Amino acid sequence: MKLRILALFLFGITVAYPKIHIEDVVKKRDTFYRKKNTNGSKCALNETITNDYEILSSAVSESKYIFTARVLRVRKIKRGKKPKAKVFMNYKLYLHLVMKGDVVELKKYVFHGDERTLNGAIVFVDWLQTNKCAYKLYRHSSGIFLSDGFYGGLNIRKQPRLRLLNEPLPLSLYDLDRVNAALKGKCLPSFK
């Protein structure tokens, strides 16, 4: 009888002790303490070219076309090796409004557009992403685009594409007012 109790006791210890020991040492995944990032974000909020009037006015004067559009497709193309890789953002856009530029010349390069106006026309845009903190456009979002003209493009079919000078701006009333003021040569105070 004592032998049975001793065997049962040893069996209980061999089963229960590792479970107790593991629960004390190993923490669950959802209760694991992670060190919070105390440095904050590396990007400053609202860091677009519309906040600096001099940069915005020079970008507007250098651009050949300024237009608003809705994004239909976004592709990210990486060229080169890892440390010095260039990142190209490729956009397929649905044009809404051309604010600056020759509409007749722009009609030669658009796809599926109306013959009389450019509303609803589709254009392809490439942008070399130089700023990691730039405003990111996603599918179905709208923006303001500043371009310096067409070039051969990065694609196989050699479709003409617009090249952007700066990052796309969000289509907000504030940014639209700043770009319109820079087009007309007026200086607006910053309210952000």
- Per-residue pLDDT of 3-26, as tens digits, reads 888 777 777 777 666 555 555 555
Q: What is the number of domains present in the chain?
A: 1
**Residue 139 belongs to some domain of the structure:** yes
**Residue 157 belongs to some domain of the structure:** yes
pLDDT of residue 35: 52
- Residue 180: CATH number of its domain: 2.40.50.120
**Residue 13 belongs to some domain of the structure:** no
CA distance 187 to 36: 42
**From 30-34, 125-129, 134-138, 176-180, the region with the lowest mean pLDDT:** 30-34
Q: pLDDT band at residue 43, thresholds of 50, 70 and 90?
A: low
**From 18-27, 116-125, 146-155, the region with the lowest mean pLDDT:** 18-27
Q: Which residue has the tokens 């020079």?
A: 58
**Residue 101 belongs to some domain of the structure:** yes
Q: What is the pLDDT of residues 80-110, one digit of tens each?
A: 787 777 888 888 899 888 899 888 888 877 7
**Residue 177 belongs to some domain of the structure:** yes
pLDDT of residue 142: 92
Q: Rounded mean pLDDT of 135-156?
A: 78
pLDDT of residue 144: 92
C-alpha triplet 67, 106, 69: angle, nearest 5°: 25
pTM over 0.85: no
Residue 149 and residue 188 in contact, taking contact as beta carbons nearer than 8 Å = no
CA distance 192 to 105: 36
**Residue 39 belongs to some domain of the structure:** no
**Residue 62 belongs to some domain of the structure:** yes
Region of 101 please: left (phi>0), alpha (psi -120 to 50) or beta.
left
From the number of C-beta atoms within 10 Å of its C-beta (0-12, 13-18, 19+), residue 95 rates as buried
Domain that holds residue 90: 49-184
Write out the DSSP string of 119-183. TT-EEEEEEEE--TTSPPP-TT-EEEEEEEEEE--SSTT---EEEESSPPEE--HHHHHHHHHHH
**Residue 70 belongs to some domain of the structure:** yes
